Each structure stands twice: as structure tokens, then as C-alpha cells.
Structure 1
Amino acid sequence: MRPQALFFKFILVSVLVVAKAQATTSTYQPFMWQVQNQGATVYLVGSIHALTPDFYPLPAAYEKAFQSADRLAVELDPEQLDPNQSARLVQSKMWLPKGVTIDRYLDDKRLTALQQFAKANQSDYERMLHIRPWMLVEQLTQVQLKDSDYQAEYGIDLHFLKLAKQKGLPVLEIETLSQQISAIADTPFQAQLTMLETSLDQMDDEDYMAKMTEYWRQADPDGLYQFVYQDVLDNPKLKPMMEALLDHRNQRMADVISIYLGQSPNRSQTTFVVVGALHLSGPKSIIKELEQKGFYPRPMFQDKNLQKQ
């Protein structure tokens, strides 16, 4: 279900990683970078969007950086979403064309897995056959999250959103809901179908979850990216999905973040930016995009002084 891990966070407030490892089982490093330019400072924090309470307290570097912030920037602020507008947007992109059903594209084994899922979760199987693959994967992932101990309320982004609102800090949104949903819903049908097939094949495979969380906890962006990208290497049909969910959005988010870095020529201003950890990982990450723009992100997990409790 690594394809699910790639996409699910793009639908409202959801999950990049769902893991069963305990938070205290390994070294805990801040998945964070600092960028400075002409008096402006940006902290880039990689988020896990669903965790358990035992992941807290976070490493001291997170809290220290946040205390210096003048504002918070997140992908989306869920409290600012209009539920009716969100529902209309999802509805406009979730249905297959009239007369087309997903069963014509899935083999018997995967159809059986989908039927079993529908029965176990009291879902209308006949209705599900008319839903586009991206939304079916979203439904599979929602149930997995519900059945796990990991909850979005303990995610890194929501943690800092709560703190920002308690402090009265301005909250900026890097993207719009339309951009996020379009990133997954407008990908080629074959890529969506491949993601659904892979998700159905791996419904009972949970080993990767703990590994992904460990890469984040150890602040290993290269390891995290390589682990997730293995699915693309195994099945190149998933590549358009990776490009839409990560590469293209990384470019847009880096453009926005570069504006934060250019807004304070006459006074210092610090922006604490929280995005999904995968956006800060890999050869086309936000980090790499900012470097190409002439900025110099500094990894904070290499700063031992900031890590002291």
C-alpha cells in the first residue's frame, strides 16, 4: 500500500504514513531544514500526518524553531475548508463515465478483494464499481486508518496548527484544495488503476509502514524516498502518479516558499513551514528546487546543539 501512502494525505486531512512502531524504539531526529535569505528565515519541517501520542514530545529542535516563528505555513488548514465546497469538488471527480464500471479493468482476484472489502465495511459494492480508482484507494486507506491506532489529530501538521492558533500566529496555506485533489484525480486512468491494483494486492501488508516511520524518525530523506520509489521501479505505470503527487507539487510549493524568503528585506521574519515528509525527500524535492533557485537549505538534524532537550 505504498501508493496509498503517497496519495492519501491529499484528500482533506489524511495520512502520509501509518505505522505500528513505537516512538521510543530508535533515535529521534528532527526532519527539518533551515533556509535564510536577506533577513528572512524559513524552517522546513517534514510531517507525518497521523501518529500516536507516544511520538510526543517531539525533538527539542522542532519546538525551539517554532518558538522563533512569526507565522506558520501548511499545505492546507482543515478548519478553513468549506465542507460543502469540498464535497462538491470530490463528487465532480470521483465517478467513472456513464456506462463504465471498474470491474471491466480488474481481474477476478482483485475483484474478490474489493468485494470482501465492501462486505467487511458494509459498503455498497455495486456503487463502488462506478467510482474512479483514485477514490477507491482513498476509501481503502480511510478504513485502514480508522482500524489503526494512528490518528490525524496527532499528526505533526495539526500539532503545530493548534500551537499556532493558541499563540495567535498567522496561518498561511501553500496550496488550495482544488490543487491537491486535482493532483491525484486528474492523473492518467492507467496510473490510477495500477495504484488500485497494487493497493488491493497489498491490503494485508503492514511491514513497510514501520520502515517508513523509521526513515522519518531518523531524518533519512534519501532512505524514505528510495523506499517509496521502489514501487515505481517495480511498476513504471505508477510513475505519472509520483510525478503528479510529488514532483509537480514540489515545484509549486517551492515557488511559494521562495516568496516567503523574499518578503523581508527590511526586517527579519521567520516562517515555520510544515509539509509532508516526502516533499522534502528525493532528487526533485522542495529542498532541491530551492537549491536551484539559489537558496541554501541547511539540515537541522545535523545540528547537535539544536537537538539537546
Structure 2
Amino acid sequence: MRRPIIVAFFSFALMACQVLAAERGALFKVSGHGHTLYLYGTIHAGKPDYYPLEPHIAKAVAAAPTLALEVDTARDPGAVQAAFARHGVFAAGSPGYAGLPGERRRRLEAALKQQGVDLAAVMQLKPWMLATMLTVRDLARLGYDPAFGVDAHLAGLARGKARIAELESSEYQAALLDRLPLAMQWDLLEETLAHMASGRQLREARELFEAYERADRQALERIAARIDSDDSVSGKFVREIVLDERNGPMAERLAALLARDDNAVAAIGLMHLLGKGGVPVLLRQRGMQVERIY
């Protein structure tokens, strides 16, 4: 009697682990050129309980000859830091915050103080860089840590077993963020601080992460629709530069990867996969078959 009981116990335990390894984000199967590519929507911060990954994506990564990421940040951390320092810090001699009109500078100082930030400590950071750091800090308040980002976890699984390809570079990403004219960067920073003060930033971040955690298609499409209609400075920048401008080149590189490799996996930010300008739509337009698994 004991052996069947033990077998049943371990079967139950296995099923429980599979339930705990819930579907998260979005997963697509892309077919073309006689090959298959799995396209997974990731999130760049996370929690320890995100892992182990659910079976679909875990098996796909284990069998993949290539894992394509936006950037493999662990490959050369020094290059990542150098790129963001080059584009995210004011050059020596730049007036920076001191060049702002007095009223606007006082307004920013008050807003930063409200968030517990000493302006003197961030004087060298360009506004886009400071806005990005404030956003990451808000994620930490919700319990999400970049150290547990899904991209980094997937890279760890694949390293030494598969080729890790980069669809972009840290230099490209940092230069893209820095392309916003300085006047608009100040607007972006003020808008970010206003959204932090009102609670909007935390609310929308929580909404995105919860939608990722449940692989909630309807919630994700609502978020994509909101971004499509958001005409604020940050909304336009995210839609036009962070997403739309990058989606086309990423789709081209993924199409080339599909032509070359069978069963490759590509893991990119979840928002790149959603909406009418998302990468899956662009791949369909290029003649590939795209099936959404979840």
C-alpha cells in the first residue's frame, strides 16, 4: 500500500508545482521558412516567485539553439554602464538644472523633495535618466526588482547552452532615450513627478505587472489601447519612440532569425507584442504565420 501512496503523493506534488508555475506575459508561435520561433513577452523586473517559469516557455528555452534578447546586459555590464553614463549624464560645463528658470527649478526641487530626492545628489543626471531611475524606484516600492527580471533569468538559463543574440545594443537604447529634446525631457521629468505624486505611476505599474502575472489578454489590450490614446509627453514618447520606432527593426531581425534557426526563442518586452503596431502584427505583415499560445 505504501508504494502507491508515495507515487500518488509525488504525482500530486508535481501537479501542484505545475499549477504554481503559472502562465505569465504572452507567448506566440511564429512559423515561416519551414522553421518555428517562440516569441515571449517579458517584463524587466520581477519577484522570486516568478520562477520556475511555466512549462511552455521553459521547454522552449531548453530546446532553443538561440535565445534572442533586446540586450544581454550580463554580457558586458561595463558597456551598459558606459552607454547610460554617456547619454544620461550632463557633459562637463553644461548648465543642467542651474540653467532652468527659477520658478521651474523651485517647482522641480519641491517635487523631488516630496519624493525624498535631494536635487544636489542628482544634479548631473539628465532629466530622462532621472525619470527612469524614479520609475525603477517606484517598482521597488511594489516589490519588483530588476535583479529578478525575466530577461535576465532567461539569459541565465541559456548561457553556455545556446547562442544569446542581441536585437539591440545598450548604446542604441541609451541614445534613443536621450534623443528627446532637452526641453521635452524637462517636461517628461515634471510629468513623471506629477504622476508619482498623484499615485498614477504606481497604479499603472501595478496594473501592468498584474496583467503580466495572469497572462491577462484583455487587461494587456486595455493597457495597449491606453498607450495608443495617451497624448501626454510621456505617452507620446513611449508610443512613438520606445515602442513604434523599435518594433519594426526588431521584427526584421526576428524574421531573419526565423529564416536561419529552427526552434529559436525571442524574449522581448511585453508591450512590444501588443496592439496594432506590435511585433506579432508586423511579422504577419511580412508573411509569417503567428499563433498566440496565451
TM class, shorter-chain normalised?
0.7 to 0.9
Report the TM-score when normalising by structure 1.
Answer: 0.75
Bigger CA radius of gyration: 2
| Counterparts in 2 of 1:133 and 1:229: CA distance versus 1, 3 Å | farther
Letter in 1 for 2:30: V
Counterpart of 1:262 (choices 237, 259, 263) is: 259
Q: Residues 120-149 of structure 1: CA distance to partner in whole angstroms, max 9, x if unpaired? A: 35x5x2363453210111231343345553
Distance 2:227 2:258 in 1: 35
> Which residue does the alignment assign to 1:196?
189
Match status 1:95 vs 2:90:
yes
Distance 2:185 2:238 in 1: 7
> Which residue does the alignment assign to 2:71?
76
Equivalent residues, number: 267
Deviation at 1:163, TM superposition (A): 1.0
Distance 1:226 1:187 in 2: 26
| Counterparts in 2 of 1:99 and 1:53: CA distance versus 1, 3 Å | closer
Give the share of equivalent positions with the same residue, in percent: 25
Counterpart of 2:165 (choices 159, 162, 172) is: 172
Q: Which runs of 5+ in 1 are unaligned?
A: 1-23, 302-309
Q: Which moved more, 1:253-262 or 1:227-236?
A: 227-236
Distance 2:128 2:224 in 1: 18
Q: Residues 184-223 of structure 1: CA distance to partner in whole angstroms, max 9, x if unpaired? A: 1112334433321221012252222321123223434564
Counterpart of 2:48 (choices 28, 50, 53) is: 53
8 A contact 1:49–1:156 mirrored in 2: yes
Letter in 2 for 1:164: A
Letter in 2 for 1:112: A
> Which residue does the alignment assign to 2:131?
137
- Helix, strand or coil at the partner of 1:252: helix
Distance 1:226 1:192 in 2: 27
> Which residue does the alignment assign to 1:274?
267
Give the alignment of 1:96-175 within 5 angstroms: 98-101=94-97, 103-104=100-101, 106=104, 108-117=106-115, 120=116, 123=118, 125-126=119-120, 128-165=122-159, 168-175=161-168
Q: Residues 83-137 of structure 1: CA distance to partner in whole angstroms, max 9, x if unpaired? A: 1x444433332317723426438375443011344xx35x5x2363453210111
Q: Which moved more, 1:247-256 or 1:97-106?
A: 97-106
Distance 2:144 2:27 in 1: 22
Q: Which runs of 5+ in 2 are unaligned?
A: 1-18
Match status 1:185 vs 2:183:
no
Deviation at 1:225, TM superposition (A): 5.2
> Which residue does the alignment assign to 2:6?
none
| Counterparts in 2 of 1:171 and 1:222: CA distance versus 1, 3 Å | same
8 A contact 1:215–1:224 mirrored in 2: yes
| Counterparts in 2 of 1:162 and 1:88: CA distance versus 1, 3 Å | closer
> Which residue does the alignment assign to 1:212?
208
8 A contact 2:66–2:163 mirrored in 1: yes
Distance 1:193 1:235 in 2: 16
Match status 1:298 vs 2:291:
yes
RMSD of aligned Cα (Å): 2.8
| Counterparts in 2 of 1:153 and 1:199: CA distance versus 1, 3 Å | same
Distance 1:231 1:108 in 2: 30
| Counterparts in 2 of 1:58 and 1:246: CA distance versus 1, 3 Å | same
Structure with the largest fraction of helix: 2
Report the TM-score when normalising by structure 2.
Answer: 0.79
8 A contact 2:225–2:275 mirrored in 1: no
Deviation at 1:66, TM superposition (A): 2.2
| Counterparts in 2 of 1:82 and 1:214: CA distance versus 1, 3 Å | closer
Distance 1:295 1:231 in 2: 26
Letter in 1 for 2:245: H
